[in-house]
Structures are given as structure tokens and as C-alpha cells.
A and B are shown apart, each in its own frame.
Chain A
Amino acid sequence: MMMYRMKPALIKPLVFIACLFPLVFGIWAGFTDQLGANPIEEITHRTGDWALRLLLITLAVTPLRRMLGWGWLLRVRRMLGLFAFFYACLHLLTYFVLDQFFDWDEILKDIIKRPYITIGFSAFVLLVPLAVTSTNAMMRRLGKRWGQLHQLVYVVAVFGILHYLWLVKADYLLPLIHAAILLALLLVRAWYQRQALSTRRTAPQTS
């Protein structure tokens, strides 16, 4: 905690490096034959896991900042969100290239016919405008509508977890843990929002 107060400039590079860890570790595992018997499946799972984890971490920024008073968290939120998008891109690319090898016919059939792929792909599509509008210039240009647009991230998170839940065979533990975390984050937000609303309501009366 002391560190970031003294050297705030370090926070962003540190988070950046930390977010690259899964990728670097994955590449290292690939070169040292540690991805198991089915490397394509393993890469698919790892990139998907990290996309979802980083998405939940991104969503945790605001509640954590409020609860713990860590102002610096807000400064890495965009980076975390973009890394979630980055791993989602890798996840999708793994599916397109390694798993299906550009068999667009099969891919299209999958997207239309398989609910878990339909919803996973939708989650990705919805992430794209959020990534595109993540720059300062876009924030300024969109003004109020930026915030409205970025509410989509909750839909993406719900879709991402449904994607996970619908693809597992019998063991729902991990997807349910993710779902529980998302639910907790949403409840915290709802609670803060209610508080904010009630203070706004009571404010005119007291003044």
C-alpha cells in the first residue's frame, strides 16, 4: 500500500506485466510440452478462463475502490478491461484457427446451433464496441452516452458465465463460483446505487 502512494507511476506497468503472465506462462508451457495430450483444448480453456477472470476483476474495481478507498484502482480499470478483451480475442482466435482451422461452414453452424457458442460469441461481439470506445477521445465524444454504452459489460459478464455453464458436462462448481462472484459484485453495486439515490433524495430536504 505504501508503494503505490510513493510511486503511482509504477502501478500501471506492474498491472500490465501481471496481466501478461498467463500468456507468457502459456507460451512457455507450450514450448516445454506442458499443455497435455490435447493442447488445443488446453489453450482454449486457458484463454477463456482468463478472459472471464479479468472481466470479473474489472467489474470488481469500482466496488473495491469504494469499500477500501483505493483510488489508484480506477486508473487500471481500463487496462484490466482491455486485457479481458485481449484474452477473449485469443480465445476466439484459438477456436477459429486451432480448433476449426477456418472451417467457416462449421463455425457458422456452431454459432447458430450450439447455444453455448451462440452466447459466447454474442458476449465477444458485445465486447468489441466497449474496447473500441475505451479511449479518452471516445469517452469525451460520447459524454453521458459512454457510461450508458459501457453498462453492456454486465450483459457480457452474464453471457460469459452462461457460456461457461452451458458447456461443462457435469461439474458445475467452477462456473457457479464465477456466477456467485458476479452476483456479489452486482449486489454491491445495487447497494451503492440505492444509497446514492437515497442521499440524493434526502439532500434537498436537509438543505
Chain B
Amino acid sequence: MLIKRPDDIKPSDITDEKIYHQRRAFLQAGSRAALAVAAGAVVPGLMFPGEAAAQVAALQFKKNARFSTDEEINSLKDITRYNNFYEFGTDKKDPAKYAHTLKTDPWNVRVEGEVEKPADYQLEDLIRESQLEERIYRMRCVEAWSMVIPWVGIPLSALIKRFKPTSKARYVEFTTLYDPAQMPGQKRGVLNWPYVEGLRMDEAMHPLTLLAVGLYGKVLPNQNGAPMRLVVPWKYGFKNIKSIVKIRFTETMPNTTWNLSGPQEYGFYANVNPEVDHPRWSQSRERRIGEFFKRKTKMFNGYEEQVASLYSGMDLRHSY
């Protein structure tokens, strides 16, 4: 499949009239934040290794109201202490406890495969602070819980256009860092390391698809996939690969980690779909973190209007 209307994200789509510049005071921990300001165009938190700096560094961004939900946002505590990030352990409390060993600066991202310009990039070359926008998305985990999260990032499409994929590029494959010294969970073969995820090219180019570097207006905490992670809000959470070190453009469908682990349970598409159950549990309802009663899960996690056309004619029961 060719890139579907690669220019369908016009600048006007992003700079909606509702968007306004928000000058954020650079908060807390004075000296470090001040240095971050001095760093100017680059993402400030990346200047400082270690989690303390990453927790502190605030980002400058535009709010993208058009692509944001107005549902109640989950607390930073919930978002940063309840994580599936098996590279740091399989308990949801593990990432918050152990992710401090991840070193996010410097951060190299290799871009390869079917692109005109395969190259190694430093994170600050890929994402400039002036491009950042905040988007409040629903996140639906395959385990039937969900959150509402204010991400800060850039549309993936903007990056992909810079890389100039060739006409053979039909899929994008992402790879997480593999380094058991930094990611102690990788010492156990719970999954096939490194973690790999992928998108069809039109999914990757969709205006909702985000590369996030921040959360709650600040640099992404390690346990949430620092320094750069994928956010595809209409798919189950495991598609949102974290701590990305490689972006590869391919002609064939990538082998993705959870799909290899349980092909009948985790498909390549993994679109949120209340009609198609996980073989072991129902997907028709979900528990929004912070709520008592379960709510009904919506088709494509409530983004049906925006993304359903990507899958027209497909049997979603088969291509789950």
C-alpha cells in the first residue's frame, strides 16, 4: 500500500484557531530548570541525565484542542506509577521503581530501511521544542483498563515526511532500546527482546499518531517510555512502543513482540474493538482508572470518526 495522501496533514490542521501559545513558567528546582531554559531550542530535559532532571524539566508547547478529549485527565501519580513496561519488570509498579537506571541522554535514533535518507539522529535533531504540542488522548490497555493522558509530542507524520520514505515503504517498524544493564527486566526472557512494534504506513501518517516526549507539560518520565515513545490512541496500549531507538521502513509487515508472544491474542492491528474479545477476557467494557463502575469500550477507542476509513473493507474480526 502506498502512502495515502501524504500531505493530508496540512499545517492548518495542526494550528487550529483554538490553539494558543502557552508560556509555561519553568518550574521547580531553580538552577537545573534555568539551565534548561538556556538550552533553548532543544528539549531541555535531555540535557540532563538521570531521572531527577527528567522529572523536573518543563516543556514549551502548543495545546492542540482539536485532537484532545475534554474528559477528566488522570493524575500524574496514576499515569507514572501504573505502567506496563516489561523492560523494567512485569509488575505495574516495577517501572516506577526501576526505570531510573535508563539513561536518556544522549539518545540516538537510527532511521533505516526504505527511506531516501537513512541516518543516525540525536533526539534533539529529530524533535525541536518549537514543534511540540499537547494532546489529551484516551489510552485503552488490552487488559481492559483505560486512562486519559495529556501527552506532549509531535505528529509522527511530520518526522516521516522528513525521512522521505521510498515507494516501497508500506510499514514502519519501531524498536525499543535493548540494554539489560539499563533495562533489568530484559535479563528475563519474558518477551522477545528488544520490543518491536509496527504500523501500516497510512496509520503512521494519520494525524492522530503522535511521537510523545512529554507528559503533563514536562519531559516524559522514564517509566512512561522516555525519551520518545509512540502514541496511537485508537489502538491497544501495547502498540505504543516506548524508548524508541530505531525506526525502520519496510515493505513487509513487521513481526511485533506481543504478536510473536501470543499470535491468537495480540494481532498486528490491535485496534480497540469492543466486538472482538481477547480469547481470555472480554473487551466490551473497561475500567477507567479512578472510576468504580466499568464503562463501555468504544470502537477504535472513540476515534472511530477519524480512523474507521483506514480499515474500510477489512474484516476486523480476522485482522484483530
Contact = CB atoms under 8 A, between A and B. Distances in A.
Interface of A: 36-38, 40-41, 98, 100-101, 106, 109-110, 113-116, 166-167, 169-171, 173
A167 B280 contact: yes
A37 B141 CA distance: 14
A36 B280 contact: no
Given A37-B289, A106-B282, A114-B280, A170 B86 contact: yes
B90 A115 contact: no
A124 B287 CA distance: 25
Contacts of B81: 36-37
Interface residues of B, dominant DSSP: loop
Contacts of A113: 282
A113 B280 CA distance: 8
Nearest to A166: B280
B55 interface: no
B98 interface: no
Given A98-B292, A100-B294, 7 more contacts: A36-B93, A37-B74, A41-B145, A101-B292, A110-B282, A113-B282, A170-B261
Contacts of A166: 280
A29 to B, nearest CB: 13
A37 B139 CA distance: 14
A37 B291 CA distance: 10
Contacts of A38: 82, 92, 145, 287, 289
A40 B287 contact: yes
Interface in B276-291: 280-282, 285, 287, 289-290
A156 to B, nearest CB: 21
Interface of B: 74, 77-78, 81-82, 86, 90, 92-93, 143, 145, 188, 190-191, 261-262, 280-282, 285, 287, 289-290, 292-294
Contacts of A37: 74, 77-78, 81-82, 92, 289-290
Contact of B190 (A36, A101, A171): A171
Contacts of B190: 170-171
A185 B157 CA distance: 58
B3 to A, nearest CB: 34
A45 B92 CA distance: 12
A32 to B, nearest CB: 14
A98 B190 CA distance: 30
B282 A109 contact: yes
A59 to B, nearest CB: 26
Nearest to A101: B293
B73 to A, nearest CB: 13
Contacts of A171: 86, 90, 188, 190
B289 to A, nearest CB: 5
Contacts of A101: 292-294
5 contacts: A36-B92, A37-B77, A170-B86, A171-B86, A171-B188
A36 to B, nearest CB: 6
A41 B81 CA distance: 14
B122 to A, nearest CB: 33
